[in-house]
Structure 1
């Protein structure tokens, strides 16, 4: 009898941990807490620094992932298109540089300069912010909208539906989401599956 009870206890713990894993990170409608992270330009950046912003396009990305590299020009284009409309890009490098040395701050500085990043490129030192958001891939996007309660999560997922070929994209998920917010409409696809490299913690 004790043996059977022990088995049930183990099953309960496994099930609980499984549900805990699934529920980790932000969901649509959650309020994202602010952060203060070091940028590749030598400053520290917080969301609260952007007094006039209507929201943010927070993108977890890095130097080394082929998916992230494929999207770099599109990330620059997103910032150029939406920064002036109140939705700047905030890029966060979530990998542990001890595990992925090519994602250290020196490499981030070189990458930002060589690609002409028009947005802050921040290091998630100690890997605290990506788990808080629930990000698991690079690239992975969280569109936030400023509300009276704080920065509310409105979209989670991929940038678009074709990482390999920008000219073959059929659904621009992030652009559609921000356009909907700007026009006061509902986002038709508030969540998609991010496709990319696993974040190295």
Structure 2
């Protein structure tokens, strides 16, 4: 085999590997189970800045990355509302965060968020991650993507990461409610039964 042919084969192999390798800077690592989540300060649809530390009496949070434009997020809206209605009074309010780049998804801008929240009757803050600095810290990749945090002496411990339940298409056909099971366990002082699942939804737009 000639040196030219060998060089050509090596070049093709290198290009092929590079084509299927995700650049390290584009990989979202984010929090793992047991990590301490940092607080943040993001603008709510009412114009006020919201932080986790504002909730003095909270026992934890259901942090949900969601948006207006993703069909999966829309299908889960009523269930997110129900989570807040069920658990906010028990110390685990929903904090919804819109992580998309609005230049890519104009329908997720603050005005549209405000309108959506009003139309649906959101009972929780709907914050915009305008600089896209918060979602990478969490490691969110989808809308919706949920992180259940428990307030402890060490800080906000990540206790669950993933999907809301096991049927995005039909709430009436759900057999396992991952987020509810996690929060119920924490309220009872028990171990979360399933700490991590695969989030199903649209990719976050950067």
TM-score, structure 2 as length reference: 0.88
In 2, Cα distance between the equivalents of 1:15 and 1:59?
29
| 1:188 Cα deviation from its structure 2 partner | 1.2
> Which runs of 5 or more structure 2 residues have no equivalent in the other structure?
1-6
| 1:21 Cα deviation from its structure 2 partner | 3.1
> Which runs of 5 or more structure 1 residues have no equivalent in the other structure?
none
Q: In the alignment, which residue of structure 1 is the partner of 2:43?
A: 38
Instruction: Give the match's secondary structure for 2:104.
Output: coil
Q: Would you say how many aligned residue pairs link Structure 1 and Structure 2?
A: 192
1:136-178 CA distance string (max 9 Å, x none): 0000000000011110100000000001100000000000000
In 2, Cα distance between the equivalents of 1:114 and 1:30?
36
In 1, Cα distance between the equivalents of 2:27 and 2:109?
28
Change (3 A) 1:84 1:160: same
The reply on whether 1:183 has 2:188 as its aligned counterpart is yes
In 2, Cα distance between the equivalents of 1:61 and 1:17?
25
Which of 3, 27, 38 is 1:21 aligned to?
Answer: 27
Change (3 A) 1:198 1:15: closer
Change (3 A) 1:15 1:54: same
In 2, Cα distance between the equivalents of 1:143 and 1:46?
16
Q: In the alignment, which residue of structure 2 is the partner of 1:193?
A: 198
- Please provide the CA RMSD for this pair: 2.1
In 1, Cα distance between the equivalents of 2:189 and 2:52?
22
In 2, Cα distance between the equivalents of 1:20 and 1:110?
32
1:97-118 CA distance string (max 9 Å, x none): 0110000000000000000000
In 1, Cα distance between the equivalents of 2:153 and 2:48?
27
- List structure 1 segments (4+ residues) > 2 angstroms apart after TM superposition: 14-22
TM-score, structure 1 as length reference: 0.90
Change (3 A) 1:118 1:16: closer
Which of 55, 78, 96 is 2:83 aligned to?
Answer: 78
Change (3 A) 1:16 1:105: closer
